[in-house]
Chain A
Amino acid sequence: MRHLSCDVLVIGAGGAGMYAAIEAARNGAQVLLVDRSLIGRGGGTVMAQMTVAAAVGPEGTDHWRHHLADTLAAGRGLCDPALARLLCEDGVEVIRQMEAWKVGWARDGDHLRSVQAPGHDRPRCVYVDFLSTGPAVSKTLRGMVQRTPGITRLGDALVTDLVKQGGAVTGAVGVHIESGDVLTIGAKATIIATGGLTRLYRRNSASANMGGDGYALALRAGAELIDMEFVQFFPIGHLAPRLIGMDPIMWDPFRYKLGGRLLNGLGEEFVDRYGSTDSGRYVVTRDLATYAITKEVEAGRGSPHGGAWLSFRHIEPARLRDAFGPVIDRLAAAGIDLGRDDLEVAPTAHYHMGGIRVDTRMATGVPGLFAAGEAVGGANGANRLSGNAITEALAFGRAAGRSAAGWDSGIAFNAEAARPAIALAHAEGPAGETAALFAGLQAIMSDNVGPFRTAAGLAAARDAVHALRAQMGAVPPGKPRPHDLARVDWFDLRQSLLVAECVIVAAAARTESRGAHQREDYPSMDENWTRNQVLRLIDERLELSDRAVPV
């Protein structure tokens, strides 16, 4: 067993975690930045090939208040306005800071190039060509993390539990995947920056690391989760032909830039039929597009693999080449000629609006515990505006780093308080089919807790989750050893089953349809449900309550 100590422990080295680490260190803290994978290569940020929203246009062309208005409108009445404001207002500063750190946003002369994205009232989204936004943000932050004194980086470290003493979080217990050793970490403050829960779904656009473990860590430590029923499905994730080495959501920016046509199995445009105006400006929001595609498939008008067609065939080859750049050669290598071939696309789990409940300091209410990025719930309400995820990661990461740097509960880490967690990390059990169990969880969630839900489906999902919990047993399979994915999957299942149950419980209680949560049995939005649902874990039992949306 190994013990490490620091002032600020940051769990997760995506955009939020890296920014938090930099900011905490700049404010004088000794920071330990851990990730279950490599530093700055896992998580959601590196996968994000899309655009990033911030009101950075030249003076007079935009203002963060306009961005805020669009964010609140997209959130369908459920955003925490203070968190949404922080995202939009501080978003301007962090996007400029990234520019100063040479991320390389595309430019038009002396200002950043802003493009239109759905749900925005004007061009407001910056990006890095070509399809390099997320990798460029990750690389830039990785470099800054390396150059900032006071940050220790540790990869292959899977945090399995937080440690609490006298009501405060004083550190964490984890497994060093590389060696199989158990780790204990003492920290004055801990920031959860583990991203969302898209791994709960079979078809998803994030990394395999995002199974919601940070939500479970927070919940078990006594923090509250908010808006857990709202999972955003990206309407046009790549479905077919099989495409590898590319982000499944890569088509979207091109669709907006070039005007790609979305067609049903009969070759007809159809989004207009669902109460939106898609033609021409491509401003349809994600929840409506997901709804439209799913309904076309249900009506028997889907594409062969069960999605919709995306077509660029009406675009001149020179314009395709100009917009796609080197990507067109990568597509050609995969046998795809956009002048000849349409693509099949379908809704893909992409982002989670819900998460850990925090205030604008990113404090959870549990002393010593903070959160940042997608792990936080509340800023985006029932539906996230396109382009807000990276902005949120950076702005909330900065806020969390600042707050955590000044925090000290005055309680020193004591391994005695960590004893049950240490015992579990050391525990040895019989072999188990943990990877198959996780695939089973993905099937349950995809089939019953996707964008469209019913009371019966949600009840069946909850029973199935309980059955999986019984199957996985009380201890991880085998004994600690280097890089044992079966044990890693077991620790993931322990967290992901709890998080899946949170989504199911909140979705079952919300008897209306709003944003990313659509109930087939309650198809309308209900004004009485303009409320946030909050989950706590009390004596191993989930407790759900609802409360008025903050003003």
Chain B
Amino acid sequence: MSEIATLVIDRGGHFDRFAIPFESGQSVLDGLRHIRETVDPTLAFRYSCLNANACKECMMLLDGKVVYACTARLEGREMHLAPLPNKTLLRDLATVIAPPDERLR
């Protein structure tokens, strides 16, 4: 049986709402990937492993708290997502998280 999570995403000046059907246990990262595949392929967020919590790239704010999107679970309620506040914003939920000496200078 699937429930609906409502992801409210801070996209730099405005918020977009996405209703995501999910099965129990699915991650916020699953929800974000679902949005890209079905609604908006330009939604920006970082990840490279898939729900393994190995790459540590998918950090963001969920309801004001820092989480990994791959270990936070979707819930049948409004969930507010925003980029990390202390990092340079690229777009949507993607921020600059690489060490300075791994960036283009």
Contact = CB atoms under 8 A, between A and B. Distances in A.
Interface stretch (A240-248, A312-320, A354-362): A240-248
A242 B26 contact: yes
A248 B52 contact: yes
A57 interface: no
Interface in B42-67: 42-57
B4 to A, nearest CB: 17
Interface in A237-291: 241-248
B42 A484 contact: yes
Contacts of B50: 204, 207-208
Interface string B63-81: 0000010110100000000
A481 B41 CA distance: 14
A178 B23 contact: no
A337 to B, nearest CB: 15
Given A486-B41, A486-B42, A37 B57 contact: yes
Contacts of A247: 52, 54
Nearest to B49: A207
Given A38-B97, A244-B25, A178 B104 contact: yes
Interface string B11-53: 0000000000001111100100100111001111111111111
A531 interface: no
Contacts of B53: 244-246
B8 to A, nearest CB: 20
A41 B41 contact: no
B54 A485 contact: no
A37 B44 contact: no
A39 interface: yes
Contacts of B38: 436
Contact of B55 (A42, A153, A242): A42
A178 B70 contact: no
Interface string A148-188: 00000111110000000000000000001011010100000
B36 A207 contact: no
Contacts of B51: 244-246
Q: Which label, helix, strand, loop or mixed, suits the secondary structure of the B interface? A: loop
Contacts of B52: 47, 245-248
B103 A483 contact: no
Contacts of B57: 37-38, 41
A435 B55 contact: no
A434 interface: yes
Contacts of A181: 104
Contacts of B7: none
Contacts of A483: 44, 46, 90-92, 94
Q: Which label, helix, strand, loop or mixed, suits the secondary structure of the A interface? A: loop
B10 to A, nearest CB: 15
Interface residues of A, number: 51
Given A156-B98, A179-B104, A242-B23, A484 B47 contact: no
B32 to A, nearest CB: 10
A178 B88 CA distance: 11
Contacts of B27: 244-245
Contact of A153 (B25, B41, B102): B102
Contacts of B26: 242, 244
Interface in A460-512: 477-478, 481-486, 489
Nearest to B29: A244
A134 interface: yes
B48 A37 contact: yes
Given A154-B102, A156-B103, 8 more contacts: A38-B98, A135-B54, A155-B98, A176-B104, A181-B104, A482-B44, A483-B92, A485-B36
Interface of B: 23-27, 30, 33, 36-38, 41-57, 68, 70-71, 73, 90-92, 94, 96-98, 101-104
Interface of A: 2, 37-39, 41-43, 46-47, 134-135, 153-157, 176, 178-179, 181, 183, 204, 207-209, 241-248, 334, 431-436, 438-439, 477-478, 481-486, 489
Nearest first, the 5 A-B pairs at minimum CB distance are A242-B25, A42-B48, A435-B41, A435-B36, A483-B90
